Amino acid sequence: MKSILTTTIALTCAMAFSFSILPAAAQNKKPAFCQAKSFGVLLKSINKGKVAKVHPSTVAAANYLYASAKKLRAQKRPRLCERALKVGNALMTTAAVIHQVGNKPRKAVVRPGTLHSGITRIGKAKILAKASKIKHGQSFGYSFWIRPLKAAPDWTAIFHKGSKNFQRGPAVFMFPKSTRLHVRMGTKGKPNDGCNAKAQLAVNKWSHVYLQFSPGTAWIYVNGKGNNRCKIGNKLTLNKAPLYLGSPWNKPSIANMGTLRVHNGRLTIQQIRQVMKNQL
């Protein structure tokens, strides 16, 4: 982007200098050019460029042309004065467009395993994904962005994969009067097995959560850092039920949900951080 601006500025200066070597006799003596209106147009473009945070070197080049136009007007060279003003205005207009395009947010890449994208307020239970869309083995993980708005007085649900309350494969809740995660993953003989986070999630701030499940162990990661590791049963109880945002059997957490993904296999800490940055 800087190279484009540098090239534009160089061309502008070259044009300005090429104008300055024109003989005075070639200038139009009639007062049809270099009027106050032309100066006002360039000054307006410069001010807009400053507000839009156009690169300072571009603004400096436009200011140089503005000052040069004043000198040319004093030298009674109105045609060259007018051209300098027009070149300055074209420079600022072009730079503003380049800056706007360069800073336009890029559409997020939709990665494999994405079950939900965008931002949604967790509310009445709704199906995010049918069971046929969720495929993994005994080792798998879920990643999601969440922004707790406040703690609720009761147990609340973030999401729940199951066709009944204690079919949890997995289900994620918040403790009463807290934003601490209560992560459940059914194992053989223990439908409410799982792991609890060691600390609460920050209120009114986005946090990235990664939950890893493997036979014998469950992990919780928050913002790319290990939060807790727990022993669970050696045989995970997988189910063929849909995944709900919230839960049909519990009140919804008072929070906003961002991208939610399922991951097959076990990820390393480096891969978890790549997921957080949407690089994997």
Map 195-251 to HEC letters: EEEEEECCCCCCEEEEEEEECCEEEEEECCEEEEEEECCCCECCCCCCEEECECCEE
Is residue 11 domain-shared with residue 145, that is, in the same domain?
Answer: no
Q: Does position 96 have pLDDT exceeding 90, yes or no?
A: no
In a domain, 108, yes or no: no
If one counts the domains in the chain, the total is: 2
Query: 25-81, pLDDT tens digit by residue?
Result: 444 445 568 888 888 888 888 888 888 778 888 889 889 998 998 999 899 999 899
In a domain, 36, yes or no: yes
pLDDT attached to residue 107:
57
Name the amino acid, one letter, at 131: A
Q: What is the mean pLDDT of residues 242-254?
A: 97
Which residues share a beta bridge with 264? Answer: 140
pLDDT in the model for residue 225: 97
Q: Is residue 107 in a domain? A: no
Same domain, 96 and 118: no
The mean of the pLDDT values for the chain is 87
Question: Is residue 212 predicted with pLDDT exceeding 90?
Answer: yes
Q: Which of residues 94 and 24 earns the better pLDDT score? A: 94
Residue 204 banded pLDDT, cuts 50, 70, 90 = very high
First to last CA, the chain: 26
| Domain contains 109 | no
State the average pLDDT over residues 107-133.
90
Domain boundary among 76, 102, 128: 102
Q: Rounded CA gap, 94 and 72, in Å?
A: 24
pLDDT(8) > 60: no
CA distance 210 to 234: 20
pLDDT tens string 214-232: 999 999 999 999 999 999 9
* Residue of 139, 112, 135, 169 whose CA lies nearest to 265: 139
Domain match, 165 and 34 both:
no
Rounded CA-CA distance 167/70 in Å is: 79
Which token pair is 70? 């004043």
Q: In this predicted structure, what is the pLDDT of residue 110? A: 78
**Domain end: 102, 137, 171, which one?**
102
pLDDT top residue among 9 and 165? 165
Lowest mean pLDDT of 16-20, 142-146, 184-188, 244-248, name the range: 16-20
Query: The domain that contains 144 carries what CATH number?
Result: 2.60.120.200
User: Binning pLDDT at 50, 70 and 90, where does residue 14 land?
Assistant: very low
Whether the link from the prior residue into 170 is cis, omega within 30° of 0, is yes
The pTM score is 0.63
Q: Which residue has the higher pLDDT, 187 or 51?
A: 187
Average pLDDT over residues 200-214: 97
Asked if the model's pLDDT at residue 11 lies above 60, the reply is no
Q: How confident is the model at residue 20 (pLDDT cuts 50, 70, 90)?
A: very low
Name the pairing type of β-strands 156-161 and 251-252: parallel
Residue 162 and residue 118 share a domain: yes
Task: Clarify whether residues 88 and 170 are in a common domain.
Answer: no
| Same domain assignment for residues 165 and 196 | yes
pLDDT at 139 over 80: yes
Say whether both 82 and 127 belong to one domain: no
In a domain, 224, yes or no: yes
Q: Is 269 found in the same domain as 201?
A: yes
pLDDT for res 34: 86
Residue range(s) defining the domain that contains residue 98: 2-102
Would 196 be classed as within a structural domain?
yes
Give the domain-ending residue among 40, 72, 102: 102
Percent of the chain scoring above 90 in pLDDT: 62
59 lies in the same domain as 81: yes
- Output the pLDDT for position 215: 97
Q: Are residues 132 and 62 in the same domain?
A: no
Q: Which residue has the higher pLDDT, 152 or 79?
A: 152
Q: Indicate if 123 and 80 belong to the same structural domain.
A: no
> Do 120 and 22 share a structural domain?
no
219 with 140: CB under 8 angstroms? no
Any domain includes 169: yes
